[in-house]
Structure 1
Amino acid sequence: MTQPSEYPVVDRLITEDDTPVDHLPSEKQQRLLTEPLYSSWVGPGLDRTFLVAANMGIFTSTNEPPIIPAVFLSLDVQLAEHWWERKHRSYFVWEFGKVPEVVIEIVSNTEGNEDIKKKARYRRMRIPYYVIFDPTRQLRGPVLQMWELQGLQYVTLTDYWLAEVQLGLTLWEGSFEGREEVWLRWCDEHGTVIPTGAERANQAQQRAQRLAERLRALGIDPEAD
Structure 2
Amino acid sequence: MATQIGEGKSLTELVISWEALPEDFQLEDKPVENTSQPVLAGALREILELAGFIQPQMLIASNFALCATLNGQFIAKAPDWIYVATVNQNLGERKSYTPNLEGDIPAIVMEFISDSDGGEYSVKRTYPPGKWFFYEQILKVPIYIIFDPNGGLLEFYQLENGRYELQQPNSDGLHWIDSMRLFLGTWQGTKEARTGYWLRWWDESGNLLPWAVERVEQESQRAEQERQRAEQERDRAEQESQRAEQERQQKEKLIAYLQSQGIDPDTLLSE
Give the shorter-chain TM-score range.
Answer: 0.7 to 0.9
Provide, for residues 150-194 of structure 1, a one-character-per-residue CA deviation record: whole Å limited to 9, x for no partner. 221112211221122212221101111132212122222344332
| Identity over aligned pairs, percent | 27
> In 1, Cα distance between the equivalents of 2:101 and 2:144?
22
Provide, for residues 82-137 of structure 1, a one-character-per-residue CA deviation record: whole Å limited to 9, x for no partner. x44xxx43222244322110011000112251123322211111101000002345
- Residue 38 of structure 2 is matched in structure 1 by 27
> In 1, Cα distance between the equivalents of 2:183 and 2:102?
24
**Matched-pair contact (CA < 8 Å) for 1:69–1:103:** yes
* 1:177-196 superposed matches below 5 A: 177-196=192-211
> In 1, Cα distance between the equivalents of 2:182 and 2:209?
9
| SS class of match (2:78) | coil
* 1:111-122 superposed matches below 5 A: 111-117=117-123, 118-122=131-135
| SS class of match (1:11) | coil
Task: Show structure 1 runs of 5+ residues with no match.
Answer: 221-225
- Say whether residues 1:197 and 2:212 are aligned partners: yes
- Residue 14 of structure 2 is matched in structure 1 by none
- Residue 223 of structure 1 is matched in structure 2 by none
Q: Which has the higher contact order (CA 8 A, sep 6+)?
A: 1
In terms of mean alpha carbon deviation, does 173-182 or 183-192 score higher? 183-192
- Residue 163 of structure 1 is matched in structure 2 by 178
Normalised by the length of structure 2, the TM-score is 0.65
**Matched-pair contact (CA < 8 Å) for 1:51–1:78:** no
**Matched-pair contact (CA < 8 Å) for 1:167–1:189:** yes
> In 2, Cα distance between the equivalents of 1:13 and 1:80?
22
> In 2, Cα distance between the equivalents of 1:8 and 1:27?
26
| SS class of match (1:204) | helix
The residue type paired with residue 103 of structure 1 is V
| SS class of match (2:218) | helix
> In 2, Cα distance between the equivalents of 1:49 and 1:219?
51
Residues 1:204 and 1:26: Cα distance change in structure 2 (over 3 Å)? same
* 1:74-223 superposed matches below 5 A: 74-77=84-87, 80-81=90-91, 83-84=92-93, 88-117=94-123, 118-124=131-137, 125-136=139-150, 143-159=153-169, 160-219=175-234
Residues 1:89 and 1:174: Cα distance change in structure 2 (over 3 Å)? same
Match of 1:73 among 70, 83, 97: 83
Task: Show structure 2 runs of 5+ residues with no match.
Answer: 2-17, 124-130, 170-174, 236-271
Query: Where has structure 1 moved over 6 Å in runs of 4 or more?
Result: none
How far is 1:15 from its partner?
6.0
- State the superposition RMSD in angstroms: 3.0
> In 1, Cα distance between the equivalents of 2:193 and 2:150?
20
> In 1, Cα distance between the equivalents of 2:197 and 2:21?
43
**Which structure has the larger Rg?**
2
